[in-house]
Amino acid sequence: MSDLQAVILTGGRAARLGGVPKALVRLEGATLLERAVDAARAAGAADVIVAGPEVDPAPDQVRWVREDPAFTGPAAALRAAMSIAATDAAWTLVLAVDLIRPADAVARLIADRDLLPGDTDGVCLGDASSRPQWLTGLYRTASLARGAASLGDEGRDHAVREIMADLAIAVVRAPDEVVADIDTWQDLQDAGAVAPRPEKEDDR
């Protein structure tokens, strides 16, 4: 898909994982961040912005941005990302880093996008109850930027649904496995993923 850029959000506290950085959780030989970036690039995203703390190892040729102050929520992170995003890319793919099957999610979004009416601002996947998963979506860049810029206080502690409030977003219910993510230790175990080892303190 041409004329596409991507924003991947990685900056949550991961409280239910004891603060483990989700970006560095490994699944099938790659980190969750690498898997999300690969899925975006396979779809044609030339520019990939990662909203969150820089990590090592990190994918090559991504741009980093962080909400200020840190940990003020995904809406603030998405607003920060859109403030540096290219304005000439027609579409922006938005992904949470903790998706278990990002390639499947992206493929579904692109297939659904081709069915959208011309006046629709984007599409996001929904869970089994059709609840919108805003951070698994494909949006018209101009519309997403407008919605993000509408938030006061740089988006701090706002909800992502506020960005989407005045946009015409199609919500498409997807199979559970396509929208599944890793929020808890049980999720991590069920997915067969491996948490990064904690850094050792320097010997004193």
159-175 b/e with 16+ CB inside 10 Å = b?
ebeebbeeeebbbbebe
What is the pLDDT averaged over residues 161-175? Answer: 95
∠ CA 181-183-189, rounded to 5°: 80
For residues 177 and 101, is the Cβ–Cβ distance under 8 A?
Answer: yes
Whether 103 is in a domain gets the answer yes
Rounded Cα distance, 66 and 192, in Å: 29
Whether 196 is in a domain gets the answer no
- Structural domain boundaries, residue 170: 4-191
Whether 94 is in a domain gets the answer yes
Q: Which residue(s) pair with 30 in the sheet?
A: 27
Work out the percent of the chain whose per-residue pLDDT is above 70. Answer: 96
The count of structural domains within the chain is 1
Whether 136 is in a domain gets the answer yes
pLDDT at 201 over 60: no
Whether 169 is in a domain gets the answer yes
Whether 30 is in a domain gets the answer yes
Higher pLDDT, 84 or 1: 84
Question: Is pTM beyond 0.85 here?
Answer: yes
